[in-house]
Structure 1
Amino acid sequence: MMLRQSRSWRTVVRTVTVMGLAVLTACASPPTRFYTLGTDALPTITGSTASPSYRIDVRPVKVPAAVARSELVVQTNAAQVQVLEDDRWASSLPDEIRYALIAGVSQQAGAPGAKTVARGEDVPVYQVGVDVQRFESWPGSHVLIDVVWNVRTSADVETLTCHSVVSEPVSDGYQAIVGGHRRAISVVAAQIAKVVRAFAASAPDSPSSPTRASGKPGKRTLSCPRATDGAQTAADRAVPRLEE
């Protein structure tokens, strides 16, 4: 009799356990979604397989502490944000921005990243510093990035510092927000690439540089670019066009 009761009790325990697991499974949180700012592969401006005359080195990117986390952070109003636990960046936001800029600047300037320099190659390396002042996401409205960036050569004390404010409209959904940031970063990458090309063109050993053309040392005259590809940005309205 006791044996039969023991078996009955074990059956009840197993049934309760199975039911509990079923309830927990039904109540499990939705799967986490991961996003990246990586750009689509595009041909470089040069379109050549020849060894480039310079390289690009995007330094580690600074971002505001409020968004320096793995979760996406969106604005609910001017004074409040929402942290999305189930929507995250594939890597840290500073790295996502940096990798996107490395790809975008390299593609549009026609030069690979500095890490690809082979031993024995003596080519200029243009260093790019990036400080993101604002990185805002407004669902169903727009995204905005406010960036102070600079370009200099590794062997040159001359530095050009520029300020870009780019806003892109977005539809509903967090995927749309990521897409908006990708477009905005592409605009900044195009601006940086234009300055890099201007630096390279005015280098002393460049055929088009003032020094090479006149035979006398000349000072480089560089200015910050306006936004390219028709995007409406604050940089379009406030920054003078880069001298060609």
Structure 2
Amino acid sequence: MKLIQSRSWRAMVRMVSGIALAVLTACASPPARFYTLGTDSDSTIGNRTASPAFLIDMRPVKVPVAVARSQLVVQLNAAQVKVLEDDRWASPLPDEIRNALLAALTRQASALDVHEVAPPVYQVSVDVQRFESWPGSRALIDAVWSVRRSDDRETLTCHSIVSQPVSAGYNAVVDGHRQAIRRIAAQIAEGVREFSAASTVRPIRLAGTPGTTRKATLSCPSLAGGSDTGMNVPVLGPAR
């Protein structure tokens, strides 16, 4: 009798253990997926010139509080979003955007990150007003950016809105943001080049007007690709 009871007890233990294991397996969270906006670092390094035309100081990027989290946030409609617990950024979103912009900017403007080589020359600030992810529709970035000489008060401030079409899936959304960032970086690079060219203008004396100086004229560069671009009036200090 005791032998039968012992076998029954062991069978019950195995059954309970099996049920518990099945429950734990069913309740286990799926592995998280991580995404990055970064570009190919080898490609960036390979395209840098031996004597860079500009030195870039990319300031910390500002993003809306709603998306300043490790999880991806996607739009369900105009008034509702979804926070994806299993789809996350590889690093904080402001850092992802900053690093991606800097990589593209240094490549397209023939520049180097000032923290690698020398004191800054051009400071670039980016304030992201909207960072929207619409799976199967678009990836939208609305940003105000500015370029300023580190040794001058002159500042060029512009407004870019990029709406990049994307297919279904979160990979497509991330790639859409990556492309949008590259296009904004190209626009900033053009702004840096224009700023550099304008900064070579020196005060001049006009006939009959002693002491008159000529100010550099700057305008926000157009955004390639046909997306909407709002342009603020450049904010400039006196030319030197």
TM over 0.5: yes
- In the aligned structure 2, how far is the partner of 1:152 from the partner of 1:134? 23
State the partner residue of 1:38: 38
State the partner residue of 1:90: 90
- In the aligned structure 1, how far is the partner of 2:140 from the partner of 2:226? 12
Shift of 1:138: 1.0
Q: Which moved more, 1:15-24 or 1:158-167?
A: 15-24
- Which SS does the other structure have where 1:30 is aligned? coil
Shift of 1:14: 4.5
Structure 1, unpaired ranges of 5+: 204-208
Aligned length: 226
- In the aligned structure 2, how far is the partner of 1:93 from the partner of 1:223? 30
State the partner residue of 2:237: none
Shift of 1:198: 1.8
- Flag the 1:56–1:167 CA change in 2: closer, same or farther, 3 A: same
State the partner residue of 1:195: 191
- Flag the 1:188–1:213 CA change in 2: closer, same or farther, 3 A: farther
- Flag the 1:22–1:42 CA change in 2: closer, same or farther, 3 A: same
- Flag the 1:47–1:79 CA change in 2: closer, same or farther, 3 A: closer
- Flag the 1:3–1:154 CA change in 2: closer, same or farther, 3 A: farther
Shift of 1:11: 5.5
Which amino acid in structure 2 is aligned with residue 56 of structure 1? I
- Which SS does the other structure have where 1:105 is aligned? helix
Answer yes or no: is the 8 Å Cα contact 1:42–1:107 preserved in 2.
no
Structure 2, unpaired ranges of 5+: 206-211, 235-240
Map Cα deviations across residues 186-212 of structure 1 (whole Å, 9 max, x no partner): 111001111112222333xxxxx3339
- Flag the 1:15–1:57 CA change in 2: closer, same or farther, 3 A: same
- Flag the 1:124–1:202 CA change in 2: closer, same or farther, 3 A: farther
| Aligned ranges 1:57-206 → 2 under 5 Å | 57-117=57-117, 121=118, 124-203=120-199
Answer yes or no: is the 8 Å Cα contact 2:69–2:92 preserved in 1.
yes
Shift of 1:219: 2.6
Answer yes or no: is the 8 Å Cα contact 1:166–1:232 preserved in 2.
no
- Which SS does the other structure have where 1:210 is aligned? coil
- In the aligned structure 2, how far is the partner of 1:187 from the partner of 1:195? 13
State the partner residue of 2:216: 220
- Flag the 1:48–1:184 CA change in 2: closer, same or farther, 3 A: closer
- In the aligned structure 1, how far is the partner of 2:9 from the partner of 2:48? 77
Answer yes or no: is the 8 Å Cα contact 1:54–1:124 preserved in 2.
no
State the partner residue of 1:206: none
Q: Which moved more, 1:19-28 or 1:144-153?
A: 19-28
Q: Percent identity?
A: 62
Which amino acid in structure 1 is aligned with residue 148 of structure 2? R
Which amino acid in structure 2 is aligned with residue 141 of structure 1? S
Map Cα deviations across residues 39-59 of structure 1 (whole Å, 9 max, x no partner): 235867x95642324311111
Answer yes or no: is the 8 Å Cα contact 2:63–2:94 preserved in 1.
yes
- Which SS does the other structure have where 1:100 is aligned? helix
Which amino acid in structure 1 is aligned with residue 56 of structure 2? I
State the partner residue of 1:210: 201
RMSD: 2.8
